[in-house]
Amino acid sequence: MVSALITVAVIAWCAQLALGGWQISRFNRAFDTYASKGGLAWAVPAGALNRGSWSPSPWTISNASSTPCL
């Protein structure tokens, strides 16, 4: 019984790896197709990635407490 469960788990794990790789390859193919058509040009405004233009999120914790959480 235990060896049957281990066998099923190994088969499920291998199937997950195979299907995950297939999903990633399909996504990459679709992304490349979309990007080659110029569909991603609007996603990042011109100059948004230049140095000095980035500012931290207002949700960033700047002054973390020095006492550890217990």
Three-state secondary structure string covering 27-61: HHHHHHHHHHCCCCCCCCCCCCCCCCCCCCCCCCC
Q: Name the residue with tokens 């020095």.
A: 66
Distances, alpha carbon 54 to alpha carbons 42, 44, 69, in Å:
18, 12, 31
pLDDT tens for the chain, 70 residues long, are: 899 999 999 999 999 999 999 999 999 999 888 888 876 655 556 666 665 655 655 555 555 555 555 5
Q: According to the model, what pLDDT value does residue 63 have?
A: 53
Q: pTM of the predicted model, to two decimals?
A: 0.49
First to last CA, the chain: 43
The pair of structure tokens assigned to 61 is 């914790």
